[in-house]
């Protein structure tokens, strides 16, 4: 026995009508595109593709720049991590040097003090070398305001104007970056009376 035989005729007619209604709703009306419409749509699509490509290229460039900046910042952080520590250490070193210079006399205690201070200074200098802290001692060089701080200008016979003739306090750099400027006396041109 088939399914059609089991159902009454009215039910079969209702099902047939509903199938026809569904078919009419599912039909897609196709629009006939003209050549001009297709050309216009192609140009719009090309424009969108070009904009998307341009945006992708710019994003890639921005990411590369960000990567380079981050890498440089990280390298600088590692390279100059000791900046604050170095700045705080320099006055201690200066005090040891000044103490050694002040220790005069020939007594045995003074000699032991001088010997201990000299060993301490050598340890400081080895530490500075290890961490690339370099002294700026510019006697005889041209005055450089980026590395020197002029404390005094004076006429010095035989010295070129704007050259360093005396250093009150050495300056220091860490990996080429200034930690402390050298405090210097700068020669000035003689005044003609």
User: Is there a single domain that holds both residue 62 and residue 125?
Assistant: yes
> Domain for residue 15, yes or no?
no
The pLDDT-based confidence of 45 (bands split at 50, 70, 90) is very high
Distance, CA of 94 to CA of 101 (rounded, Å): 11
User: Is there a single domain that holds both residue 142 and residue 121?
Assistant: no
pLDDT per position as a tens digit, 67-91: 999 999 998 888 888 888 889 999 9
> Domain for residue 36, yes or no?
no
User: Is there a single domain that holds both residue 113 and residue 156?
Assistant: no
Residue after which a domain boundary falls, among 111, 131, 151: 131
User: Is there a single domain that holds both residue 121 and residue 64?
Assistant: yes
Three-state SS string over the chain comes to CCHHHHCCHHHHHHHHHHHHHHHHHHCCCCCCCCHHHHHHHHHHHHHHHHHHHHHHHHHHHHHHHHHHHHHHHHHHHHHCCCHHHHHHHHHHHHHHHHHHHHCCCCCHHHHHHHHHHHHHHHHHHHHHHHCCEEEECCCCCECCCCCEEEEEEEECCCCCCCEEEEEEECEEEECCEEEECEEEEEEECCCCC
Give the residue numbers spanning the domain of 190.
132-193
Distance, CA of 9 to CA of 101 (rounded, Å): 125
Any idea what the CATH number is for the domain that residue 81 is in? Answer: 3.90.20.20
pLDDT per position as a tens digit, 123-164: 999 999 999 999 998 998 999 999 999 999 988 888 888 999
pLDDT for 150 equals 92
Tell me what the mean pLDDT of segment 8-13 comes to: 58
> Domain for residue 29, yes or no?
no
**pTM of structure:** 0.61
User: Is there a single domain that holds both residue 98 and residue 136?
Assistant: no
Any idea what the CATH number is for the domain that residue 171 is in? Answer: 2.30.22.10
User: Is there a single domain that holds both residue 74 and residue 126?
Assistant: yes
Residue after which a domain boundary falls, among 131, 152, 179: 131
The pLDDT-based confidence of 191 (bands split at 50, 70, 90) is confident
Percent of the chain with pLDDT over 70: 84
User: Is there a single domain that holds both residue 125 and residue 60?
Assistant: yes
User: Is there a single domain that holds both residue 151 and residue 113?
Assistant: no
User: Is there a single domain that holds both residue 140 and residue 100?
Assistant: no
Mean pLDDT of the chain, nearest integer = 85
> Domain for residue 111, yes or no?
yes
């Amino acid at each position: 026995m088939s399914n059609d035989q089991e159902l009454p005729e009215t039910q079969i007619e209702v099902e047939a009508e509903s199938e026809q209604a569904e078919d009419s709703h599912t039909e897609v009306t196709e629009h006939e595109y003209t050549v001009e419409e297709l050309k216009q749509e192609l140009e719009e699509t090309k424009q969108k593709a070009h904009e998307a490509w341009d945006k992708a290229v710019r994003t890639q460039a921005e990411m590369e720049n960000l990567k380079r900046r981050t890498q440089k910042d990280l390298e600088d952080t590692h390279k100059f991590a000791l900046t604050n520590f170095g700045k705080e250490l320099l006055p201690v070193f200066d005090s040891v040097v000044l103490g050694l210079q002040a220790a005069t006399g020939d007594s045995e205690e003074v000699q032991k003090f001088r010997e201990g201070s000299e060993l301490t200074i050598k340890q400081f200098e080895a530490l500075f070398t290890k961490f690339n802290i370099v002294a700026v001692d510019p006697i005889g060089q041209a005055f450089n305001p980026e590395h020197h701080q002029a404390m005094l200008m004076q006429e010095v016979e035989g010295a070129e104007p704007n050259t360093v003739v005396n250093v009150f306090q050495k300056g220091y750099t860490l990996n080429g970056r200034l930690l402390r400027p050298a405090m210097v006396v700068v020669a000035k041109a003689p005044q003609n009376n």
